[in-house]
Amino acid sequence: MTAAVKVTVIYYSATGHVADIAHEMAETAEKAGAEVRLRRVRELAPQAVVESHPAWAAHAAASAEVPVAEAEDVLWADAVLMGSPTRFGNISAQLKQFIDTLGGAWRKGELADKVYSGFTSTGSPHGGNESTLLALMHSFHHFGGIVVAPGFTHPDKFVDGNPYGTAHHDAGGTAPVGEITRNAARVQAERVVRLAQAVVAVSDGSR
Question: Domains in the chain, start-ordered, CATH in brackets?
Answer: 6-205 (3.40.50.360)
| pLDDT tens digits, one per residue of 131-166 | 999 999 999 999 999 999 999 999 999 999 999 999
Q: How far apart are CA 5 and CA 114, in angstroms?
A: 11
Cβ(151)–Cβ(169) below 8 Å: no
| pLDDT tens digits, one per residue of 11-43 | 999 999 999 999 999 999 999 999 999 999 999
Q: How far apart are CA 91 and CA 95, in angstroms?
A: 7
pTM of this prediction?
A: 0.95
Q: How far apart are CA 83 and CA 173, in angstroms?
A: 17
What element of type H or E holds 122?
A: strand 115-122
CB atoms within 10 A of CB 72: 11
